[in-house]
Amino acid sequence: MKTYLVGGAVRDRLLGLEPGDRDHVVVGETPETMLAAGFRPVGRDFPVFLHPRSNEEYALARTERKSAPGHRGFVVDSDPSVTLEEDLSRRDFTINAIAEDDDGTLVDPFDGARDVEARVLRHVGPAFVEDPLRVLRAARFMARFAPLGFTVAPETMALMRDMTTSGELDALVPERIWQELSRALAAKRPSAFLSTLHDCGALQAILPEVEALYGVPQRAEYHPEVDTGVHVEMVCDMAARLAPGDDLIGFAALTHDLGKALTPVDELPKHLMHEQRGLAPLRALCERLKVPTAYRELALTACREHLNVHRLAELRDDTVHKLLERCDAFRKPERIAQLALVCEADKRGRGGAGDDDYPPGRELQRLHAAALAVRAADVAREGLQGPALGEALRKARIVAIRQARAASSAR
């Protein structure tokens, strides 16, 4: 049986990165011969099989005919006469269209290895435009590979622009968009995902609430990078630096300032109330992309509270307690460290602030720990229950916050 390693595994090894999943392509076989050789079938759309021992994926070499716009409209043709070159010619990028023989020989008809060297993301051929998901994949690969020096080839960028204007991105299902977005947010440079999509026009189709931030000015004394879209790019990169691989923090970083797009023109460059204004577009975005609950909740919390956290030192003890309650911090204690990270990314993700210290993040966690240490059992006196017990707990927690603050200012 003739099999080749293809795609990410070959590419990542050429780049000197730790390869992810190992995908293979099989030439000259049929589903029947695969099953007879002990492979197990997976997936209904494509002829893909799992190796009986390694569990790695083996796909029959295939060509595809487009039957309808959008990601799902393919008719797969994988008869045993389909060649390796035909299969590779329908793949997305030249760096993903390199096959490796059993003995390590590369089969590279589209000069993918040259593009790995040149650090260029280039489409393989005309079939590129048949799958709108590839616009998002290009942006997601940039989030991972821009730190290595990659750029998108101009001719590929032009095709991505065409695919966007033709309205084909509308066919993408929310689950796939979220999958690409969350993977980009977990990569080293999420800003490259955003700027790539912004540059080809696709951000408007995928994340209009984020696209709307570009060109919105903010106050130069706080933001040397005056454009709000650029600020959000920087915050996402800072979040990726502070919490590597954590798309939960990344998503809250991405969306914390959505309200700035809704500031009335005569109030610019100030953004009074942007924390409140951001909640509605954030809910709409989460609804549309079916964003998982944990991601939505942290993002809403960060959107609503980030200014409060920045000025934590000015808040009264009972106001700090209210903030903690709004964050649901007594039932979900992990929330506070996450919120602190997002706020730190916001503060440090601006021109000239990259290495600044962020004391409010630590202080928030310290005050939260002090309040959390007060238990209902500590304040339960005889006969105290229900609302009265709740009130006693609240007062005791505020006292704990006051004492924690006094202890630190006395040091």
Binding residues for ATP: 8, 11, 91, 137, 140
* Binding partner selected for residue 339 from Mg ion, ligand CTP, none, CB under the kind-specific 5 to 8 Å limit: none
Tokens coding 106: 């590369």
Q: Pattern of binders to ligand CTP over 75-114, x per CB under 6 A?
A: ----------------xx---xx-----------------
Q: Which of 18, 21, 45, 221 binds Mg ion (CB under 5 A)?
A: 21
Asked if residue 126 binds ligand CTP (CB under 6 A), the reply is: no
Facing residues of 6 across strands? 23, 99
Provide the 8-state DSSP code for 313: G
Over the range 297-318, which residues count as b (16 or more CB within 10 Å of their CB) and which as e? bbbbbbbbbbebbbebeebebe
CB nearer to Mg ion: pick between 8 and 109: 8
Kindly state the smallest distance separating residue 23's Cβ from ligand CTP, in Å. 5
Kindly state the smallest distance separating residue 12's Cβ from Mg ion, in Å. 9
CB nearer to ligand CTP: pick between 137 and 347: 137
Asked if residue 18 binds Mg ion (CB under 5 A), the reply is: no
Asked if residue 333 binds Mg ion (CB under 5 A), the reply is: no
CB 389, CB 376: distance < 8 Å: yes
Total residues at interface with Mg ion (CB under 5 A): 2
Residue listed under structure tokens 């590597």: 244
SS3 percent helix, strand, coil of the chain, rounded to 5, is 55, 10, 35
Round to whole Å and give the CA distance between 398 and 374.
10
Q: Which of 131, 180, 305, 346 binds ligand CTP (CB under 6 A)?
A: 131
CB nearer to ligand CTP: pick between 23 and 346: 23
Asked if residue 20 binds ligand CTP (CB under 6 A), the reply is: yes
Kindly state the smallest distance separating residue 184's Cβ from Mg ion, in Å. 15
Round to whole Å and give the CA distance between 27 and 4.
8
Asked if residue 8 binds Mg ion (CB under 5 A), the reply is: yes
Kindly state the smallest distance separating residue 3's Cβ from ligand CTP, in Å. 15
Residue 365 phi, psi dihedral angles, 5° rounding: -70, -35
* Binding partner selected for residue 131 from ligand CTP, Mg ion, none, CB under the kind-specific 5 to 8 Å limit: ligand CTP
Q: Which of 3, 4, 14, 23 binds ligand CTP (CB under 6 A)?
A: 23
Kindly state the smallest distance separating residue 179's Cβ from Mg ion, in Å. 13
Q: DSSP for 269-288?
A: T--TTHHHHTHHHHHHHHHH
User: Which candidate, 44, 43, 46, places its Cα nearest to that of 25?
Assistant: 46
Provide the 8-state DSSP code for 217: B
Distances (CA, A) of 228 to 141, 234, 258, 305: 24, 10, 9, 18
List residues binding ligand CTP (CB under 6 A). 7-8, 20-21, 23, 91-92, 96-97, 131, 133-134, 137
List residues binding Mg ion (CB under 5 A). 8, 21
